[in-house]
C-alpha cells in the first residue's frame, strides 16, 4: 500500500515547488491539503467584511484595498493548497508581496493630508513588486520569495513600533498583539517544516479530528491571517485618529474586532 502522503486525487500529481507537511488527499479526493485549504477562510471572510465596513465609514480607498489584498492572499492560498499546482502557488505567493506593499503604503502615509497621494512611494513599491515578480518567475526559488516578503514585513514592524512608542502609545496593545500573533504563526510554520516527519508519525496514532490540531501550517494561516487583519485595524486606527475622527473598535458577536467611526472631525 502506498504511503498516505502519496495518495492521488482530483488535481493529479503536484507541480508546485512546495508540498507542505499535511498528507495529500487524506480528507477529500478533491482537496489536496484539506486543513491547509479551509484554514484560509479567516483570510477571506473577515477582510471582505472589513472592506465593506471601511467603505461605509468613508475612509480612504487604500484601506479597502488593504483588506481586499488580504482576501486575495486567502483565495490564492486556498487555490494553492487545494490543487498543489504551480500556477496556483503563484496565485498565493505573489499577492502576498502585492498586499504587503499596500500595507506599507498605508502605514507610511498615515500622517499625511486626507486623500493625499504619494506618487513616488507608489512608484517605488510598484517597481519592487515588478522586480520580485519577474525574478521569481525566472528563478523558482521559494526562499527568494520568503526573503522579499520578510523585508516588507520588517518595514511594517519598524514603522508600527515607532508609532506606538513615540506617537500613539495607547495603541501599543493592539500593535504588539498583532505582532505576537503573527510571530507565533511564523514559529509554528518553522516547526511544521523542521519536524514534519515526527508530526506525520504522531497523526497516525491520533483520531482524525485530534490529528487536525497538529496541522501547524494551517495554524500559520489562522494566526498570520488574524495578525494581518489586526495590523490593518491598527493602521486604520492610526489614520482615523490623526484625521481627528473618533475611531472605536467594536466586537462583532462579541468576538471579532471591527473599526467603527463614531463621528467625523471634532475640530
Q: pLDDT of 27-79, one tens digit each?
A: 999 999 999 999 999 999 999 999 999 999 989 999 999 999 999 999 999 99
For the segment 208-236, the average pLDDT, to the nearest whole number, is 96
Is there a contact between 159 and 108 (Cβ–Cβ < 8 Å)?
yes
Q: Is residue 223 part of a domain?
A: yes
Percent of the chain beyond pLDDT 70? 96
First to last CA, the chain: 73
Q: Is residue 106 part of a domain?
A: yes
Q: Does 33 count as an annotated binding residue?
A: yes
Q: Is residue 75 part of a domain?
A: yes
Stated pTM of the model: 0.94
Please give the torsion angle defined by the CA atoms of residues 4, 7, 9 and 12, in that order, rounded to the nearest 10 degrees.
140
Q: Residue 251: beta bridge partners?
A: 257
For the segment 141-152, the average pLDDT, to the nearest whole number, is 97
Task: Indicate the average pLDDT of the chain.
Answer: 94
Instruction: Kindly calculate the radius of gyration of the chain based on its CA atoms and give it in whole angstroms.
Output: 20
Say whether pLDDT at 6 is over 80. no
In whole angstroms, give the CA distance from residue 164 to residue 156.
12
In whole angstroms, give the CA distance from residue 104 to residue 211.
37
pLDDT recorded at residue 5: 47
Q: Is residue 34 part of a domain?
A: yes
pLDDT recorded at residue 20: 95
Q: Does 217 count as an annotated binding residue?
A: yes
pLDDT recorded at residue 4: 47
Confidence at 261, pLDDT banded by 50, 70, 90: confident
- For 38, residues 6+ apart whose C-beta sits below 8 A from its C-beta are 218
Q: Does 24 count as an annotated binding residue?
A: yes
In whole angstroms, give the CA distance from residue 176 to residue 174.
6
Q: Is residue 40 part of a domain?
A: yes
Q: Does 23 count as an annotated binding residue?
A: no
Say whether pLDDT at 146 is over 80. yes
Domain count, the chain: 1
Say whether pLDDT at 266 is over 70. no
Q: Is residue 267 part of a domain?
A: no
For the segment 137-145, the average pLDDT, to the nearest whole number, is 96
Q: Is residue 83 part of a domain?
A: yes
In whole angstroms, give the CA distance from residue 72 to residue 119.
24
DSSP class per residue in the chain: ---GGG---TT-S--SS---SSPTTSSBTTBSSHHHHHGGGGGTHHHHHHHHHHHHHT--HHHHHHHHHHHHHHHHHHHHHHH--HHHHHHHHHHHHHHHHHHHHHHHTTTS-TT---HHHHHHHHHHHHHHHHHHHHS--HHHHHHHHHHHHHHHHHHHHHHHHHT-GGGHHHHHHHHHHHHHHHHHHHHHHHTHHHHHHHHHTS-HHHHHTT-HHHHHHHHHHHHHHHHHHHHHHHHHHHTT--EEEEEETTTEEEEEE--S---
Comparing CA positions, the residue from 265, 258, 241, 243 lying closest to residue 113 is: 243
For the segment 124-133, the average pLDDT, to the nearest whole number, is 98
Q: Does 141 count as an annotated binding residue?
A: no
Convert the pLDDT of each residue in 183-201 to its tens digit: 999 999 999 999 999 999 9
Residue 16 structural domain: 4-261
Q: Is residue 156 part of a domain?
A: yes
Q: Does 19 count as an annotated binding residue?
A: yes
The more confident residue out of 190 and 4 is 190
Residue 124, domain CATH: 1.20.1070
Confidence at 264, pLDDT banded by 50, 70, 90: low
For the segment 103-131, the average pLDDT, to the nearest whole number, is 96
Say whether pLDDT at 263 is over 70. no
For the segment 237-244, the average pLDDT, to the nearest whole number, is 95
For the segment 245-251, the average pLDDT, to the nearest whole number, is 90
Amino acid at each position: 500500500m502506498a504511503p498516505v502522503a502519496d495518495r492521488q486525487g482530483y488535481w493529479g500529481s503536484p507541480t508546485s515547488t512546495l508540498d507542505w507537511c499535511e498528507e495529500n488527499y487524506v480528507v477529500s479526493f478533491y482537496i489536496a491539503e484539506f486543513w491547509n485549504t479551509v484554514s484560509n477562510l479567516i483570510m477571506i471572510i473577515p477582510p471582505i467584511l472589513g472592506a465593506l465596513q471601511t467603505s461605509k465609514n468613508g475612509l480612504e480607498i487604500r484601506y479597502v484595498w488593504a483588506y481586499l489584498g488580504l482576501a486575495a492572499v486567502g483565495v490564492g492560498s486556498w487555490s494553492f493548497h487545494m490543487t498543489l499546482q504551480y500556477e496556483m502557488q503563484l496565485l498565493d505567493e505573489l499577492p502576498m508581496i502585492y498586499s504587503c506593499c499596500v500595507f506599507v503604503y498605508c502605514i507610511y502615509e498615515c500622517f499625511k493630508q486626507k486623500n493625499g497621494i504619494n506618487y513616488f512611494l507608489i512608484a517605488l513599491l510598484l517597481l519592487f513588486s515588478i522586480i520580485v515578480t519577474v525574478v521569481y518567475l525566472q528563478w523558482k526559488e521559494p526562499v527568494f520569495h520568503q526573503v522579499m516578503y520578510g523585508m516588507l514585513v520588517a518595514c511594517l514592524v519598524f514603522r508600527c513600533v515607532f508609532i506606538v512608542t513615540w506617537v500613539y502609545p495607547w495603541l501599543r496593545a493592539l500593535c504588539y498583539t498583532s505582532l505576537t500573533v503573527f510571530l507565533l504563526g511564523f514559529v509554528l510554520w518553522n516547526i511544521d517544516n523542521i519536524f514534519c516527519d515526527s508530526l506525520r508519525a504522531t497523526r497516525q496514532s491520533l483520531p482524525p479530528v485530534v490529528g487536525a490540531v497538529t496541522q501547524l501550517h494551517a495554524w500559520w494561516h489562522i494566526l498570520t491571517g488574524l495578525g494581518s487583519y489586526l495590523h490593518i485595524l491598527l493602521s486604520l486606527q492610526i489614520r482615523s485618529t490623526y484625521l481627528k475622527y473618533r475611531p472605536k473598535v467594536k466586537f462583532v458577536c462579541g468576538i471579532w474586532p471591527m473599526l467603527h467611526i463614531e463621528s467625523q472631525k471634532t475640530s
